[in-house]
């Protein structure tokens, strides 16, 4: 009888519940910092290996696990889960919970700000990130499980308080990683099995009306362990200010986030976990005063743009049930999950009509159901075989009620009386993937990881690809590691869609498009090359250098082409991206420091989908010329230093530097914005009170020099309103563990 790959994976997982003893697999990753390192770790290639051998030859000797406590069993299972993910040939940057605590805002730091500490990560407006010249395209994994991305927006779904460590993996990724490939944000969450029973409550408050209370509790009892955290945030700078003023107009936000993880040890070799998260974010859209209306409304000819009342809400919920463990020499994790993401944009009907000729109330929703199975097993003494599959069923819809004006053939307003148009579209996307890869330890100095991945995507059309991957690590000396890799990538588009029917519904109105073109987004295909070296200098210094090049067909990009802060996908026919990254870390005694510097160049040519978003002159130019992508930033740098004056008192500083994203010049995206520099300072002290215990306090000064800088100027391909970086703010955190 033949079994399908899915049936085989589930059968193996269920078989493990019967409790066969197995060997814990030890993973050695060269980029992991010591657990007490207060600054982010250096960028390094990773090399997996095992040391549970009889003679050092690499052959594993199985042994039984007997009479282990729940904590010891959990640690062994964590080890087994780690063995499912090879890093050979790719680059990774590790940030631990201690590193996050050392940042100026500590655990209150938004997730995007945490990731900006890694090399090659560029900040954008609305909390957006660009890694190595890509637009978004980030894959988030929580405890080894991939969480499908949310609808495009600016709300942060995940909270830094959940993180035990986070790895940013980029470069030539192994065959295990697909779909979103600019980088993998691989999060290991805090666990009640690793912590004594207890919890923490605290609050961060300060400038711009910021109030951010939080509470967490964790623990374990018998075979059960749990970790829960939740926080509420409100302030008056929810979205970047479109002006350089210190006080934005109409920019209030309130956000609620919660995360939970409950695990049960079925036996010494098997664990069942339930993980879930909830996010509700509400935003006012900030106003840009002194704008001139372009349309008349009834008998109204003027409208103060400072009085606009546009709002946007976002919701995300996800839940994952995972069975993880080992049977014989095979480690596995099988999970089923679901993620719902929703977005609602509420216009100012009169104001939006007068400034834009359309006031559209938008309701978007997306529900994704997933199945993921990963397996790892040793074979032949020097090999580790890894294989798995992934499936996703995704249903997305967009409904819009739009007020528009009639228009003359030349596009001018024909009447000041608006009328309503309803449009709706829905799409169902199905993703199937399977991979097989082998990690081959060749002698003591060489590790080769090679594999093949197959992807099939069905939505707007059916597309598929077989993608070879290969990565090589050479341990040149005890302190020098060299890596190189090649990966073929297949990147499906997001499931948001504006159908041709919806576009045609606006013919002869003030929301009509100028170009129809091809409205179906295409899957991106690319060849990725990466090479790098890591050098340890003594016990305190680590230096890393990495170089990459990506040749792209059907390059995907996204832009904000309407009033709502919702992105639309389009494709360039060709793309080419290249860059270099340099990193240094120092860690000895009370002092730690890190420095990153990156160069990047990202170009595209010939827009071949969603041409209706573009001006005809821009389309004509881009068809025959390479242009910078709007998110291309030539130079990016980050760094920081922390010093422990005593065990209770620490001071620190970090910075962000960028040479500027793109804006229009004589050609689309022809200029770069002025460079920016943001310096942040902090001091923390732990007070010890009789009868109360320890109280952690942390004072942060963000943008200490109060330098005004633009992230976006309001021009460029797919760029909406201007956005400015944060102004100087002072914030105090009080945190009490119990």
pLDDT band at residue 497 using 50, 70 and 90 as cut-offs: low
Read off the pLDDT of each residue in 591-597 and give the average, rounded to a whole number. Answer: 96
pLDDT band at residue 688 using 50, 70 and 90 as cut-offs: very high
Closest CA to 438 of 179, 176, 146, 183: 176
Residues 6+ apart with CB under 8 A from 55: none
- H helices of 403-562, where? 500-504
Report yes or no: 277 and 317 within 8 Å, Cβ to Cβ.
yes
Greater confidence (519 vs 361) lies with 361
Read off the pLDDT of each residue in 608-630 and give the average, rounded to a whole number. Answer: 92
Place of tokens 């005890």: 478
Spatial distance between the Cα atoms of 362 and 347, rounded to a whole number of angstroms: 9
Q: Pick the range with the lowest mean pLDDT from 13-17, 21-25, 46-50.
A: 21-25
pLDDT recorded at residue 71: 57
Tens-digit pLDDT profile for residues 31-76 = 333 333 444 544 444 443 333 333 333 332 233 333 345 556 777 7
Report yes or no: 693 and 658 within 8 Å, Cβ to Cβ.
no
Distances, alpha carbon 209 to alpha carbons 62, 253, 730, in Å? 59, 10, 11
Distances, alpha carbon 666 to alpha carbons 20, 303, 619, 687, in Å? 69, 32, 14, 59
Read off the pLDDT of each residue in 724-737 and give the average, rounded to a whole number. Answer: 97
pLDDT recorded at residue 494: 81
pLDDT recorded at residue 292: 94
Q: Is the pLDDT of residue 184 over 90?
A: yes
pLDDT recorded at residue 80: 73
Read off the pLDDT of each residue in 166-176 and give the average, rounded to a whole number. Answer: 94
3-state secondary structure of 95: strand
pLDDT recorded at residue 88: 67
pLDDT band at residue 387 using 50, 70 and 90 as cut-offs: very high
Closest CA to 596 of 578, 584, 579: 584
3-state secondary structure of 10: helix
Distances, alpha carbon 165 to alpha carbons 37, 160, 190, 219, in Å? 12, 10, 8, 19
Read off the pLDDT of each residue in 237-256 and give the average, rounded to a whole number. Answer: 95
Read off the pLDDT of each residue in 595-619 and give the average, rounded to a whole number. Answer: 93
Residues 6+ apart with CB under 8 A from 8: none
Q: Pick the range with the lowest mean pLDDT from 121-135, 397-411, 553-567.
A: 553-567
Q: Is the pLDDT of residue 685 over 50?
A: yes
Pairing of strands 480-491, 524-537: antiparallel
Tens-digit pLDDT profile for residues 151-165 = 755 457 788 999 999
Read off the pLDDT of each residue in 701-716 and give the average, rounded to a whole number. Answer: 95
Place of tokens 């955290």: 229
Q: Pick the range with the lowest mean pLDDT from 81-90, 331-340, 351-360.
A: 81-90
Q: Pick the range with the lowest mean pLDDT from 18-22, 156-160, 206-210.
A: 18-22
Distances, alpha carbon 188 to alpha carbons 91, 368, 373, in Å? 18, 22, 18
Helix or strand (DSSP H, E) at 547:
strand 541-559
Distances, alpha carbon 382 to alpha carbons 46, 51, 377, 448, in Å? 17, 12, 11, 11
Closest CA to 376 of 7, 28, 20, 27: 27
Q: Is the pLDDT of residue 79 over 80?
A: no
pLDDT band at residue 89 using 50, 70 and 90 as cut-offs: low
Tens-digit pLDDT profile for residues 112-139 = 999 999 999 999 988 889 999 998 889 9
Closest CA to 279 of 157, 446, 115: 157
Report yes or no: 703 and 726 within 8 Å, Cβ to Cβ.
yes
3-state secondary structure of 557: strand
Pairing of strands 163-171, 90-96: antiparallel
pLDDT recorded at residue 3: 38
Q: Where are the beta strands (DSSP E) in 127-208?
A: 129-131, 138-142, 145-147, 163-171, 183-189, 198-206
Read off the pLDDT of each residue in 230-240 and give the average, rounded to a whole number. Answer: 96
Read off the pLDDT of each residue in 276-287 and give the average, rounded to a whole number. Answer: 95
pLDDT recorded at residue 450: 96
Spatial distance between the Cα atoms of 367 and 542, rounded to a whole number of angstroms: 43
Q: Is 610 left (phi over 0), alpha (psi -120 to 50) or beta?
A: left
Read off the pLDDT of each residue in 303-328 and give the average, rounded to a whole number. Answer: 95
Closest CA to 467 of 42, 62, 179, 700: 179
Percent of the chain predicted with pLDDT > 70: 87
The tokens of 214 are what?
A: 């939080």
DSSP 290-313: SPPP-S-BTTB----GGG---EEE
Q: Spell out the CATH class of 5-737.
A: mainly beta
Closest CA to 358 of 499, 511, 501, 502: 511
Helix or strand (DSSP H, E) at 97:
helix 97-102
The tokens of 419 are what?
A: 């009328």
- Decide: residue 392, CB within 10 A, 0-12 exposed, 13-18 middle, 19+ buried: buried
Report yes or no: 429 and 149 within 8 Å, Cβ to Cβ.
no
pLDDT recorded at residue 635: 98
Q: Is the pLDDT of residue 554 over 50?
A: yes
Spatial distance between the Cα atoms of 238 and 255, rounded to a whole number of angstroms: 9
- Decide: residue 433, CB within 10 A, 0-12 exposed, 13-18 middle, 19+ buried: buried
Domain regions of the chain by residue span? 5-737
Helix or strand (DSSP H, E) at 570:
strand 568-588
Closest CA to 100 of 637, 738, 735, 664: 735
Spatial distance between the Cα atoms of 278 and 174, rounded to a whole number of angstroms: 31
Largest CA distance in the chain: 89
Q: Is the pLDDT of residue 684 over 90?
A: yes
Q: Is the pLDDT of residue 354 over 90?
A: yes
- The rounded radius of gyration (Å) of the Cα atoms in the chain is 26
What predicted TM-score, i.e. pTM, was given to this entire model? Answer: 0.87
């Amino acid at each position: 009888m033949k079994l399908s790959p899915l049936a085989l994976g589930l059968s193996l997982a269920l078989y493990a519940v019967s409790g066969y003893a197995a060997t814990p697999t030890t993973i050695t990753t060269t980029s992991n910092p010591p657990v007490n390192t207060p600054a982010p770790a250096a960028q390094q290639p990773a090399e997996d290996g095992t040391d549970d051998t009889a003679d050092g030859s690499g052959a594993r000797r199985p042994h039984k696990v007997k009479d282990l406590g729940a904590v010891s069993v959990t640690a062994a299972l964590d080890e087994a889960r780690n063995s499912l993910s090879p890093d050979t040939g790719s680059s990774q940057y590790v940030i631990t919970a201690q590193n996050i605590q050392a940042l100026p805002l500590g655990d209150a730091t938004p997730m995007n700000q945490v990731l900006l500490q890694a090399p090659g990560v560029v900040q954008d407006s609305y909390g957006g990130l660009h890694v190595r010249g890509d637009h978004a395209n980030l894959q988030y994994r929580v405890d080894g499980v991939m969480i499908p991305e949310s609808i495009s927006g600016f709300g942060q779904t995940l909270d830094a308080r959940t993180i035990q460590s986070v790895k940013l993996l980029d470069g030539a990724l192994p065959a295990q990683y697909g779909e979103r490939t600019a980088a993998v944000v691989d999060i290991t969450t805090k666990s009640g099995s690793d912590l004594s029973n207890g919890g923490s409550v605290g609050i961060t408050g300060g400038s711009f009306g910021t109030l951010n209370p939080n509470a967490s509790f964790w623990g374990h009892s018998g075979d059960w362990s749990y970790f829960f955290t939740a926080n509420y945030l409100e302030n008056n700078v929810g979205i970047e200010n479109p002006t350089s003023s210190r006080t934005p107009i109409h920019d209030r936000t309130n956000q609620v986030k919660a995360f939970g993880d409950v695990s049960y040890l079925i036996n010494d070799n098997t664990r069942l976990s339930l993980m879930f998260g909830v996010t509700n974010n509400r935003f006012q859209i900030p106003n840009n005063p002194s704008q001139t209306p372009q349309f008349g409304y009834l008998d109204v000819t003027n409208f103060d743009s400072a009085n606009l009342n546009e709002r946007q809400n976002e919701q995300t919920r996800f839940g994952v049930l995972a069975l993880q463990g080992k049977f014989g020499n095979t480690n596995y994790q099988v999970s089923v999950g679901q993620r719902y993401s929703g977005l609602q944009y509420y216009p100012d009907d009169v104001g939006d009509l007068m400034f834009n000729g359309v006031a559209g109330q938008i309701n978007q929703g997306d529900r994704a159901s997933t199945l993921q199975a990963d397996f790892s097993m040793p074979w032949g003494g020097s090999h580790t075989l890894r294989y798995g599959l992934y499936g996703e069923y995704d249903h997305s819809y967009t409904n819009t009620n739009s007020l528009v004006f009639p228009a003359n053939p030349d596009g001018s307003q024909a009447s000041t009386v608006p009328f309503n148009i309803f449009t709706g579209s829905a799409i169902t996307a199905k993703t199937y993937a399977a991979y097989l890869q082998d990690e081959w330890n060749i002698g003591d100095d060489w590790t080769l990881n090679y594999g093949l991945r197959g992807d099939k995507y069905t939505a707007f059309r059916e597309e598929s690809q077989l993608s070879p991957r290969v990565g090589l690590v050479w341990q040149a000396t005890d302190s020098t590691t060299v890596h190189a890799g090649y990966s073929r990538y297949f990147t499906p588009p997001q499931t948001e869609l504006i159908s041709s029917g919806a576009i045609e519904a606006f013919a002869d109105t003030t929301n009509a498009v100028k170009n129809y073109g091809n409205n179906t987004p295409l899957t991106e295909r690319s060849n990725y090359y990466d090479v790098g070296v890591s050098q340890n200098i003594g016990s305190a210094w680590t230096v890393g250098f990495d170089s990459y090049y990506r040749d792209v067909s059907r390059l995907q990009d996204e832009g904000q082409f309407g009033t709502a802060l919702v992105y639309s996908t389009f494709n360039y026919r060709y793309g080419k991206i290249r860059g270099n990254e340099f990193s240094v870390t120092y860690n000895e005694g009370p002092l730690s420091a890190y420095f990153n510097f990156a160069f990047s160049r990202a170009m595209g040519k010939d827009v071949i989908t969603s041409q209706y978003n573009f001006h005809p002159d821009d389309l004509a130019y881009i068809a025959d010329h390479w242009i910078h992508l709007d998110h291309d930033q030539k130079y990016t740098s980050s760094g920081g230093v922390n010093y422990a004056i005593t065990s209770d008192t620490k001071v620190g500083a970090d910075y962000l530097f960028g040479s500027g994203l793109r804006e229009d010049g004589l050609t689309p995206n022809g200029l770069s914005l002025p460079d920016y520099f943001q310096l942040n300072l902090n001091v923390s002290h732990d007070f010890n009170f009789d009868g109360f215990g320890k109280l952690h306090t942390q004072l942060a000064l963000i943008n200490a020099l109060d330098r005004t800088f633009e992230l976006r100027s309001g021009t460029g391909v797919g760029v909406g309103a201007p956005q400015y970086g944060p102004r100087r703010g002072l914030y105090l955190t009080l945190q009490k563990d119990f």
